[in-house]
Amino acid sequence: MTYKIEFLPRARKELLDAWDWYDDRWSDLGDRFMREIEKKLQQIEKTPERYTERRKGFRQTKINVFPYLINRIQKRKKIIAISSIFHTSRNPRKKYTGSK
C-alpha cells in the first residue's frame, strides 16, 4: 500500500522554522536537517506502523543527529498527517497541542 504524507499547518511552520534556525547557524546545516527529515518521511511512507503508538492514534519518529521528533497520525486509509516537527527540549505535553 502506498501512503501519502500531508503536513498540517503547525508541522509545516515548525519544519521551516527549524530549517531557518539551522541554516542561520552553519552553511548547509539546514539542508542536512531537511535530508534527515526526508529520510524519515520515506521510512514512514513505507512502514507507517513501524513506530510505537504514543498516544491514541499518534506515532512519533526520532530524527537522526538532530533533536527532533516527527509526530504523525493516520488521517485516512492512505494519508499520514504530520502533526508536528517537535524539538525534544520543549515541554512534551505540547507535542499534541493543536494536532487534531
The domain ranges of the chain are: 4-88
Q: Can you tell me the mean pLDDT for 44-66?
A: 86
Q: Can you tell me the mean pLDDT for 4-19?
A: 95
Cell of 39: 529520510
| pLDDT > 60? residue 99 | no
Q: What is the fold, at CATH topology level, of the domain defined by 4-88? A: YaeB-like fold (3.30.2310)
Radius of gyration of the chain (CA): 13
Q: State pTM to two decimals.
A: 0.85
- How far apart CA 67 and CA 54 sit, in angstroms, is 18
Q: 75-87: per-residue pLDDT in tens?
A: 677 889 999 999 9
